[in-house]
Structure 1
């Protein structure tokens, strides 16, 4: 039986060059969340970013922000993609996320990351600088273990390289309890509240490498991925499943959630005209940072003159990185991913984020024309 199709949105709090007062950025996010909930879209995610003077995504406290945004919804799932785990104290994170899960009635999903931008990581936790890959991974694993223990253990008892709970000198007033001995010395800690969802929110890793997928399977995390498509995505999903089975567990997912840029307009031509400048700009930036290979399929040569000469929009569209076009075109693209890559969870990032008319039209066409067609084809 095929896994139920899930289609979410990713909302970036974009404010290019800080042109708008930040309260307008907040109000825009509020409108988007309320509309997504009203339209019956399955979920909506925000990210975490710090020191963002460029205005790419100004969301330094996603837990606090989601407490406000989610209060304007009633049914849609809400998510953070992704919490920069090394930047947080894991107990405080456990408390904040549990509180948020309680406040939303158990609608929270959480993706975790070691961090991407060096400026964010080193200015919040210099020890976690990813230039030391082994140490960065160890810090992530330690915090992940403590986060989970805080939700699972009562009382919490923990000892690792960087954390010890209770602190040896901890005392509480009052008589003996399951948290204290007869002298009032703490023997364990109460982490309150617990999440509304049994075991806590679903946890994801945001990754696009084989090593990242293998690590996610080892750590019992689902995955969200951006760049990989076609054969590359198939290989990553295969590596995840194999590692989960090798470890004696059942894979948490049949295939990764896939993040894709999205813009829907009445015609393919109008959609392309609107979005192509943004696609080209993003492509050129990522090409400088990571190279063209991240966009390519398995076995494609990044130095192939034909690939080098292809317009960025065509290169990305042909390799299924973009869900851009008319409702029929976008529905067909989604169905292709379902049939060829076994995709069952999409996270769509609307292009032209600051343009309310384009984004809201994309959301309306997605809900009213694309998803009914896709779900009918998938589920019959």
Structure 2
């Protein structure tokens, strides 16, 4: 089993939690942002030293609230790759609709090649309209398949993302290519070049090492689409029973599309939020402010839909769970090293985990705490697991 680390890369917040400011009232200066970037880089270096397999970043924009302040995961990855030699580096996720697909393909290929094949291509559709609309000149937003008010935004986002991924696959996989779609015409007709017209393009560079593409799986339409493309599926913030159902359905769909039979955990990755301390009670007390700040931030964007709500069915949009609910539903593993190892072993048994990524740094946490959590997990939790 490969084990990685995923961090939002936010600023430090001594007032995180229920009693702290409303998210939109938070505003941080450039020194706080620079401090977060430098500290995040040190966390990546530490991840390699501690023996983690991978380190994952984010792509987010315009967040004066300070939760996620890395706008370009690929550029940040290049700095981290220069300071490491073994660690694989990915982004959860490069938001495809916010890029020209050829620029995303080029930049990933450059990172992947110069890092010696350590790049992981993470792709997603986005979360925050405030980010996507400005970066697409107001043309595209992001919605949810189960929100009627955003149905058209969701449809257009899926359409754009699907077409952009088609372009990326062609550009990374073929010596030369041309593409004609609703949103992209590549090359555009009529480009003069040396007495003729350009009829095809060649991406430089293209990956010279094998690479993996991973996409978040959060909704039924995406659950159908990701295995069809042959990508790996990333599962996060899902109640335990629904996680297992979606996990197994993903494998069956992948097998159907690609004519094979995956191992139980193959081509699937679980992200698990974790907090470790000497005792369960101490871990709960220490992680509660970060857990509550996490949901102050993400609850309004519908990230709680993967939980069970108060009635036992899927949680409604805007649902904000308590820490106890997060632990009970298996989304957060909190406790002593033995407690957290037991929770992970449960997922190993249920899912056949081959890829696990841990989220040990909550919004607002100091980076001293994040590094302490990474170290405690590596030295006290992971040795208790079966890595076969």
Band of TM-score, shorter chain: 0.7 to 0.9
The match for 2:81 among 36, 58, 70 is 70
1:178 maps to: none
Equivalent residue, structure 2, for 1:14 = 10
Q: Given the alignment of the two structures, is residue 224 of structure 1 paired with residue 234 of structure 2, yes or no?
A: yes
- Could you tell me the TM-score, scaled by structure 1's length? 0.86
- Decide whether aligned partners of structure 1 residues 313 and 167 sit closer, same or farther in structure 2, where only a CA change above 3 A counts: closer
Asked if 1:163 is matched to 2:184, the reply is yes
For the pair 1:208 / 2:218, whether they are aligned, the reply is yes
Match of 2:57 in 1: 46
- 1:338 equivalent in alignment to 2:359: no
In the superposition, the TM-score normalised over structure 2's length comes to 0.84
For residues 253 and 114 of structure 1, do their structure 2 counterparts lie closer, same or farther at Cα, with a shift above 3 Å needed? farther
In structure 2, the CA distance between the partners of 1:318 and 1:51, relative to structure 1 (3 Å rule), is same
Report what 1:176 is aligned to: none
Indicate whether 1:141 and 2:162 are aligned: yes
Task: Choose from 163, 183, 193 the match for 2:205.
Answer: 193
Summarize the Cα distance change of 1:355–1:335 in structure 2 as closer, same or farther, 3 Å threshold.
Answer: same
- Kindly indicate whether the alpha-carbon contact (under 8 Å) linking 2:306 and 2:314 is maintained by their aligned counterparts in 1: no
Asked if the contact 1:317–1:323 (Cα under 8 Å) also holds between the matched residues in 2, the reply is yes
Distance 1:161 1:293, change over 3 A: closer
Aligned 8 A contact 1:324 1:330 in 2: yes
The higher radius of gyration belongs to 1
CA contact (8 A) 2:91 2:120 kept: yes
Q: What number of residue pairs does the alignment pair up?
A: 357
CA contact (8 A) 1:217 1:251 kept: no
1:43-83 CA distance string (max 9 Å, x none): 00001001111001011121111111221111011001101
Offset from partner CA, 1:114-147 (integer Å, 9 cap, x none): 1111111111123322332222211111100000
Q: Find the residue that maps to 2:349 and give its secondary structure.
A: helix
Work out which structure has the larger RCO, using CA pairs closer than 8 Å and 6 or more positions apart in sequence.
2
Q: Residues 208-228 of structure 1: CA distance to partner in whole angstroms, max 9, x if unpaired?
A: 223221111122221112111
1:268 corresponds in structure 2 to: 280
Query: Structure 1 residues 311 and 165, CA, compared in 2 at 3 Å: closer, same or farther?
Result: closer
Contact 2:307 2:314 in 1 (8 A): no
Give structure 2 stretches of 5+ with no counterpart. Answer: 14-26, 143-149
CA positional deviation for 1:96: 0.6
1:185-212 deviation line (CA, Å, top 9, x unaligned):
33322211111323xx311111222322
Alignment partner for residue 269 of structure 2, among 257, 263, 267? 257
CA change 1:226–1:248 in 2 (3 A) is: closer
| Structure 1: gaps of 5 or more residues | 174-182
Partner of 1:80: 91
Compute the displacement of 1:271 (Å).
Answer: 1.4
